[in-house]
Amino acid sequence: MRQVDVSTIRDEVARLSQETNYYLDEEILAAFEKGRDEDESSAARAVFEQLLENARIAAEEQVPMCQDTGTAVVFVELGQEVELVGGYLEDAINEGVSRGYTEGYLRKSIVEGPADKRKNTGDNTPAVIHTRIVPGDQVKITLAPKGGGSENMSRIQMMKPADGREGIKDFVVKTVVEAGPNPCPPVIVGVGIGGNFEKAAQLAKEALLEPINEEEKDSEMPELEREILEEINKSGVGPQGFGGRTTALGVNIKTYPCHIASLPVAVNINCHAARHQSVIL
Amino acid sequence: MTKKISTPLDDETVAQLKAGDKVLLSGTVYTARDAAHERLIKLLEAGEELPIEIEGAVIYYVGPAPAKPGYVIGPAGPTTSYRMDPYTPQLLEVGLKGMIGKGSRSRGIRDLLQKHKAVYFGAVGGAAALISSSIKESEVVAYEDLGTEAIRRLKVEDFPLMVVDDINGDDLYEQGVEKYKIKQEV
């Protein structure tokens, strides 16, 4: 068994908390540049110009690109030949989030007693942690801070098998278009199809971790992704909802086999501040 | 064309603002989001005085990130406004003139903007680091215990905004979609 000390995981989570919030992915920046140069709406082009300037300031000054530095969503792929030592995994992750958010001047957005007290926990913990045991002797940590505005516009529907491909398409497009300006378009759309109620939601979230460029992504349903993206961008909502051709930058679909009676479909919307980074230990 | 305006807002200023106008706002702006709104409404219901000067005021729906040393404020972009819709009617009643956020307001709020001659502005969501450069001063004036949700008095200079909902009932988001929607061929 290979031993990994959880303090390493803590330190990496702290680092990733900050770096995901300061630096935007190259592919998102490239999509902003394309929008600035090509969207036929002047309001849209102006928004892209501001987003590029904003990303430049955030990276240069090492401040978060958005004040909503999100719920810390952490994916752990733990090799089954790894023995974790030095403490409990989830404690280490939460210590990393606490340190990263405090030392990085990131906003603390988590409240406990969600139904009534709603008291801020003060250090953005607890994280939402998804752990999967995988073959091998490595540990992969992915941090994906997720803002509240776009999360609030996400939906899940237990569809009928008869609704099929067209039904799925209509539901996804409707979800994004009806969200309009609220989730901070241009958005990235994660779609989970199949599994069951909770599996579909998790697939949709995982789909947001995939690249949006067709050349880079390993797509399960490239044609459906393309059709949905095209329909969304016909809506006219545009960046910030000010009107334009770029309402979504990408659509990613993940699927899983499901029950003969079911067709669960989840749509997780990400704002343009699409933040996620991974490290392999 | 970009219109330069200053707070406090009066009827005359608000009347010349049209949905889709670009605006540079200067003066005093108060921050408040969900939790602070709830407290303000409780004060109004108890007949008590508000901790802010509401007459002609502009409220910015924002929960800023903490300020790094040497900064006035951390990144401070708008939060989604519809969550404040339940609280907004009572604040309009007592003189609120402007709100800054992102996203659509309810039909009811849009009607009340016409009635009270008030305006709803959109700031660019997610452009938080850029927006904070227009904020020159920041001071917590109420509810410090709420952390990022405390009410702050901000002094802003040339804060870039778009008029979303004006006193004529027009809405920038509807206009945008109307202009750029690609209609289905029948």
For B74-98, what is each residue's pLDDT tens digit?
999 999 999 999 999 999 999 999 9
Which among A61, A65, A245 has CB closest to B180? Answer: A245
Chain A contact probe: residue of B171, B177, B179, B182 with most A CBs at under 10 A: B177
Judging contacts by C-beta atoms under 8 Å, the chain B residues touching residue A180 are 103-104, 173, 177
pLDDT for B31 beyond 60 = yes
Sign of the CA dihedral A1, A136, A143, B71?
A: positive
Q: How far is CA A225 from the centre of its chain?
A: 17
State the Cα–Cα distance between residues B84 and A65, nearest whole angstrom: 24
Contacts of A58 in chain B (CB under 8 A): 75, 129
Residue of A nearest to B102 (CA): A182
Structural domain of residue B48, as residue ranges?
A: 2-170
Partner residue opposite A54 with nearest CB, options B67, B130, B146: B130
What is residue B186's predicted lDDT score, i.e. its pLDDT?
A: 54
Reduced to 3 states (helix: H, G, I; strand: E, B; else coil), residue A199 is helix
Position B183 scores a pLDDT of: 79
Res. A13 pLDDT band, cuts 50 70 90 = very high
Which residues of A are less than 8 Å from B160 in CB distance?
A: 50
> What is the number of structural domains in chain B?
1
Which chain A residue's Cα is nearest to B65?
A: A107
The strand pair at B119-122 and B151-165 is best described as: antiparallel
Does the structure show a pLDDT above 80 at B185? no
Closest CB to A238 among B67, B79, B176: B176
Give how far B57 is from chain A: nearest CA, Å.
23
Distances, alpha carbon B154 to alpha carbons B52, B64, B159, in Å: 12, 11, 11
Residue A92 confidence (pLDDT) above 90: yes
Report the pLDDT value the prediction gives residue A236, as an integer from 0 to 100: 96
In tens, the pLDDT along B67-80 reads: 999 999 999 999 99
Residue B78: half-sphere exposure toward Cβ, Cα within 13 Å: 29
Alpha-carbon Rg of chain A, whole angstroms?
A: 19
User: Which pLDDT belongs to residue B1?
Assistant: 75
Asked if the Cβ–Cβ distance from A105 to B66 is below 8 Å, we say: yes
Q: Which residues of B touch A41 (CB under 8 A)?
A: 176, 179-180
Q: What is the mean pLDDT of residues A119-140?
A: 97
Is the pLDDT confidence value at A150 over 80? yes
Mean pLDDT of A114-127: 96
B68 interaction partners in chain A (CB closer than 8 Å): 61, 63, 105
Report in angstroms the alpha-carbon separations of A258 from A154, A262, B31, B38.
21, 7, 47, 43
Per the CB < 8 Å rule, is B126 touching A63? no
* B17: in domain: yes
Distance, in angstroms, between A194 CA and closest chain B CA?
A: 30
Contact B36, B146 (CB under 8 A): yes
Q: State pLDDT tens for residues A214-273.
A: 888 889 999 999 999 999 999 999 999 999 999 999 999 999 999 999 999 999 999 999
Interval B105-163: pLDDT, tens: 999 999 999 999 999 999 999 999 999 999 999 999 999 999 999 999 999 999 999 99
A chain contacts of residue B124, beta-carbon cutoff 8 Å: 47, 50-51, 54, 240
Distance from the A97 Cα atom to the nearest Cα atom in chain B, whole angstroms: 15
> Tell me, what's the pLDDT at A91?
98
| Topology of domain A149-273, CATH | 60s Ribosomal Protein L30; Chain: A; (3.30.1330)
Is the ipTM higher than 0.85? The answer is yes
Contact between A1 and A81 (Cβ < 8 Å): yes
Interface contact A51-B162, CB threshold 8 A? no
Per-residue pLDDT at A217: 87
Rounded Cα gap, residues A90 and A71, in angstroms: 15
A-to-B residue pairs, Cβ atoms closer than 8 angstroms: 164
Q: What is the mean pLDDT of chain A?
A: 97
Residue from the list B80, B104, B179 with its beta carbon closest to the beta carbon of A149: B80
Q: Which of A108, A234, A272 sits opposite B126 (nearest CB)?
A: A272
Distance from CA of A198 to the nearest CA of B (A): 26
Domains of chain A, residue spans: 2-22+65-146, 149-273
Which of B:107-146 have CB within 8 Å of A?
122, 124-130, 132-133, 146
Q: Do B122 and A242 touch (CB under 8 A)?
A: yes
Question: Residue B102 maps to which CATH number?
Answer: 3.20.130.10
Q: In the predicted model, what is the mean pLDDT of residues A57-77?
A: 97
- Tell whether B11 is covered by a domain: yes
- State pLDDT tens for residues A31-64: 999 999 999 999 999 999 999 999 999 999 999 9
Pairing of β A128-134 and β A187-195: unpaired
Tell me the pTM. Answer: 0.94
The residue of chain A nearest to residue B76, with distances taken between CA atoms, is A67
pLDDT, residue A232, reads 98
Summarize pLDDT for A174-231 with one digit per residue, the tens. Answer: 999 999 999 999 999 999 999 999 999 999 999 999 999 888 888 999 999 999 999 9
